[in-house]
Structure formats: C-alpha cells, structure tokens
Amino acid sequence: MSAKWNSLIMKVMVTFFLVILPLYGLSVTLTLNSSKQMREEIERTNESVLLSHFLRLQFELSRMNNLAGQFAQDEELSDFSALLPIMSSYQIAQRLNNILLKLDQMKSTSPYIQDVLYFLPALRKTVSAVNGISDDPADTWEGLIHNRGELKGAVSEYNGDLFLLTSSPFVYTASSTPNFVLAIQISAPELNRQLESFREKSISGAFIVFGQGNHTVISDNGLMDRWNVLKDRVRKDASGQVVRTVTEDDRYYSVRDSTFQFDFVSFVSNDVLYQSIHRYSVWMWWLTAASCLIVVVFSFWIYRLIHKPLIKLIKGFKVLERGNTTQEIVHRRKDDFGYLFSQYNKTINRLHILIEDNYVQRIRTQDAELKHLQSQITPHFLYNSLFTIQQMAEMDNTEGIKVFSDYLGQYFRFMTKDSAREATLEQEMEHSLIYLHIQQTRFSNRIAFDVEPLPEESRGLMVPRIIIQPILENVFEHGLSQSASRGILRLSHRTEGQAFVIEVEDNGQRLTDDRLLELQSQLEIAPSQWSDRETTGLLNVHHRLRIRFGSEYGLWLERSELGGLKVVMKLQRSA
C-alpha cells in the first residue's frame, strides 16, 4: 500500500489536485459572489420597478384628488343647487350640458379616471362623463356618502368600484341633503394593466390593497391569501419605504401610502430569484467534474509519457542484468525518451561488442595460435594436398607439381602470416582463388567454379584476414566433396546501401531444411558454446565480422537457387 501511494502516478495526481485546488476555490468564490451580487441586483431592480409604479399611482391619485377639489369650487357646479328655484328649464338644461362638458374634460386628464359623476339631489339628476345626463335614484349618492371613510383614506369603495369623493357641504347631518356630490371613479382596467406589466419584468405578480386590509379593492389573480400573511408585518414599517418580506416560497416587496391608505405589493418566487444561482451551481458541478476528469486524464497522460517509458527502460536493464546484451528497446515516438532509448541501444550494442572482443582477446592470450590453426587449417586438408602431390609425382607430372606447389606455398604463406590481422578485400579474394585452384586440382576438375571479379572501388576495403576461404572450405568439405554429379560453386557480390555483399553458393544435395534451420540458429550462439566442427569456420568468420563492423554485418545462411547452401556475407563499405 505504501509503494502504491508513493508511485509516480499518485504523486502526479496529488500534485495536479493541489495546483488546481486554489484555482477551483477562487472560481467557486467568484461564482458565489457573482450569484450574490446578481441576487441583490435583481432585488434592487424589483424594488425600483415597484417604487416606480407606486409613485406613479400616488401622483395620479393626488392629482385626481386635487382636480376634484378644484372642480368643486367651480361656480357652475357649486351654486347650481342654490339657483334652481329661479332658473328656467332651458337654463337648467344648459347648465347640465355645461357641467357634462367639464366632466368630460376632467375624465380626459388621466388614464386612471374611468368616469366622473356629478349628483344633484335637489333635481334628482346625475351627470356622467360616460353615460351623460340621467335620472338618479337617491340610493346611489347616499351609498357613496355612506361608505366614505370606510377605507380610512381619501379613496372610497362602492359596489366593488373605487371613488374619490367631494361634496357640498363636505360634512352634513343625516337629516340634511348635500347640494351636490362629485365622484371620480378610478379605472380598474388601468390598475389591472399596470399590475400585469409586472409580469413582463420577470416578477411573479403584484397587487394593490386599499384600506386597513378589511377590503380587497383590487387584486391580481386573487392573491388575498398572500396579503393576509403580510399585512401585520407591513403595518409596522414607515410609509413610503420599500419593505422586503421573505417567506419559504417567495420574496415580497411592499410600499404603503398613508394619505390614500393603500399598499402596493409585488412578489417574486424564490425559484425565479435563485434561477441564475441554481444555473451557476449546475455549472459549478460541471466545472468540478470537468476539473477532476482533466486531472485524471492529464495524470494518466503524464504516466504514459514518463512512467511507462521508465518501466520499459528498467525492464531493459533487468534483461541486461541477466546477461542478454542483444535485446534492444523499441520506441516509436520521436521524443526525449526516444533519444534515451537510442543511446541505451547503442550502449548495449557496444557492450555486446566489447564483451565478445574481450572474449576473443582472452582466447588469443590463452591459445590464440592453436585455435587459429584449428579453425583454418585442418590436418585432413594438408594430408589431401600431400597425397595429390604424390599422385602427380607417380605420373611424372612435374609441371603440375610445380604449379600445385606454388599454390600451396602462397596458400600457407598467407595463412601463417600472423603479423597482420587485416587485409584488403583484393588480397582476400586472391587467397580464395588460390584455395579454389588447389581444390580444383584435388578433385580432378569435377568441380567448376564461377567467380565474379571485384569492382575497382571495393578492392581496397580493409577486412579481417581469412574470411572467405573458411566459407569455401565449408562448401567443399560438406557440400561438394561427396556430390555424385558435377559440383558448381558460385562467388558473386553486390552493393547494398552501406554494405558490400559477397554471396557464396553451391549445388550440393546434402543440405536438408532442418539442417539449414540448425545452421541459422548456430550463428546466434556465443563462441564459448561452439561444438559443431562443421560450422566452426563459419561461426569464427561471423563473429569476427560482427566484432569488426557491428551487429548489422556478418553472415546469413539461405538455400541457394542451385539447390545447396548460400552464404551471404555483409561487409561495411566505409570501414
């Protein structure tokens, strides 16, 4: 468990969380503050809308009340009742028409005036700006006078309508009759239209209550129950100031007028008020989820980018620790780790070369000469050569003995020249041709060989000594020596990129597919494990070429088109 918590992936995730936490906290704080400010702005806007409508209604009621007082002082209205006994019918009719015109002018002064009524009890007439002149039963003006003051203000209520009243005299006894009564009917449709406009401003609703709460004169959507909850709390506050009242579901804004005794109330649902805050909360949760997801994804990306290549490198070192110096690390990305792995691969390749070189050096210091002679000159080859000379002597073939002896002399002079470890490719090829002539003499021309001349640019290439002749020797000893038909040996070459390729192939019939696979696998074993005498010469050449040029060069074994073995030798051209 401790190792798990101390792992790189956990440290990266914790680090990213610690980095993102202050930013996340700052974001949350800014969001909450913004939500709070937005809520306050919404509340101030609601108060401003309410106060604007309240002041407009207050102004209109005051102007209408003043207008009623001014008209009540008009001579045509005030002294009409007193002059009735001396006026003719024509004069009375003319006066009533003049009063109708004045009432119509009064009605047109404000959209809040639905009608203006002038009651003349002595004449039992009513003049209406809307309905004109008509007879009036006494109960109409009496009902208006009777209800005056019921709402504790200048506004009166009669049959569900609101009126501003004035009379002459203003105060009278029950046994007397007023000279006239002037009533301004307040427009209920206009008040409703004003209340409906609140909905256009994202406010849930509004209503107006006149009086002390005993009468609901005008309301929007029957909101009397809401007023009953608020009226006791609103009464305690000063007139003309907006009061906030908070309930479980709504927030109320109310303002009161003490002159006309009405309360203007608007309310907004908490769901509407906190809608933006809820939206911010949802976004905050999404931000939280996105932040966590980003941290996790980025952490695993860092893990893949850093931790996995490190694990791959550690595994590579473990393989190297077990003694395997040939397994390279494959990394396809072109990044810093690619450079690291490339250097690692170069290091283990160089280490592999140094190990094998050290082994070769150790062999040379112990028994270098013996191993060299055992791998290159076999007693059987020497015996066969002497036997061939004997046969030519018995046949008195002195010219053949001379040529054959010259070949053997050149051959042994090159083989025993240990002072030089390298030779040119041209010298190697000449030595190989001498060996072929010796073998051709031995086999009485039963074997034909085809050797392609070296190109001029490759003749000076420096290579380890004795690298082609052991391959030719392997062909003769294990491929062509017991061939029933005429043997063929072909030596060709080609250029392949930075490599100079030499191919040696024969038409021997003894090579099976299983044997070919066995030979191919033996090229990868260490020199200390060489046990097959048949392939010792090939392995010697293969490992010396790798030590000299690197793992990309050496020997490869294939089946020849001629039917026998094909040995492909790759040499470095720039060596």
Concatenated DSSP letters of 17-50: HHHHHHHHHHHHHHHHHHHHHHHHHHHHHHHHHH
Task: Tell whether the model's pLDDT for residue 11 goes beyond 60.
Answer: yes
The 8 Å CB, 24+ separation contacts for 478-482 are: 478/508, 478/510, 478/534, 479/506, 479/508, 479/510, 479/511, 479/564, 479/565, 480/443, 480/447, 480/506, 480/507, 480/508, 480/564, 481/443, 482/510
Dihedral (Cα; 297, 301, 302, 308), 10-degree rounding = 130
Average pLDDT over residues 184-207: 76
Most confident region among 27-41, 242-256, 280-294, 443-457 by mean pLDDT = 443-457
**pLDDT tens digit string along 314-341?**
887 787 777 777 777 777 667 666 777 7
Angstrom distances, CA of residue 184 to CA of 29, 119, 160, 258, 572? 56, 11, 14, 20, 119
Q: 200 pLDDT exceeds 90?
A: no
d(CA 527, CA 362): 12
What residue ranges do the domains of the chain occupy?
73-186, 377-572
Grade residue 222 by pLDDT with cuts at 50, 70 and 90: low
pLDDT of residue 501: 94
The Cα–Cα gap between 363 and 351 comes to 18
Separation CA 205–CA 197 (nearest Å): 9
Tell which wins on pLDDT, 23 or 130: 130
CA-closest candidate to residue 267, choices 201, 203, 209: 203
Q: What is the pLDDT of residues 408-419, one digit of tens each?
A: 888 888 877 766
CATH architecture group of domain 377-572: 2-Layer Sandwich (3.30)
- Averaged confidence pLDDT in the chain: 78
Q: Which pLDDT band, with edges at 50, 70 and 90, does 270 fall under? A: confident
Locus of tokens 């906190």: 274
Q: 16-20, 228-232, 253-257, 258-262 — which is least confidently predicted?
A: 228-232
Predicted pLDDT of residue 4: 54
Choice among 249-258, 282-291, 408-417, 528-537 with the minimum mean pLDDT? 528-537
Q: What is the pLDDT of residue 483?
A: 64
pLDDT recorded at residue 365? 41
Beta bridge partner(s), residue 556 = 568
- Of 129-133, 183-187, 418-422, minimum mean pLDDT range: 418-422
Is residue 164 over pLDDT 80? yes
Partners of 569 in the β-ladder: 502, 555
Residue 367 has pLDDT above 50, yes or no: no
535, 479 in Cβ contact below 8 A?
A: no
Fold of 73-186: Beta-Lactamase (3.30.450)
Q: What is the pLDDT of residues 465-507, one digit of tens each?
A: 888 988 888 888 777 766 656 788 899 999 998 899 999 998 8
- To which residue do tokens 């994804």 refer? 297
How far apart, in whole angstroms, are the C-alpha atoms of residue 245 and residue 268? 11
Answer left, alpha or beta for residue 497, where phi above 0 means left and psi between -120 and 50 means alpha. Answer: left
Residue 138 has a pLDDT of 65
Q: What is the pTM of this model?
A: 0.48
Interval 543-565: pLDDT, tens: 888 888 888 899 999 998 888 88
Residues 6+ apart with CB under 8 A from 191: 57, 112, 208, 218
The answer, yes or no, to whether residue 368 has pLDDT greater than 70, is no
Asked if residue 541 has pLDDT above 70, the reply is yes
| Per-residue pLDDT reduced to its tens digit, 13-56 | 677 777 777 877 777 777 777 777 777 787 788 888 888 888 88
Query: Using 50, 70 and 90 to split pLDDT, how confident is the model at 374?
Result: very low
Coil vs helix vs strand at 375: helix
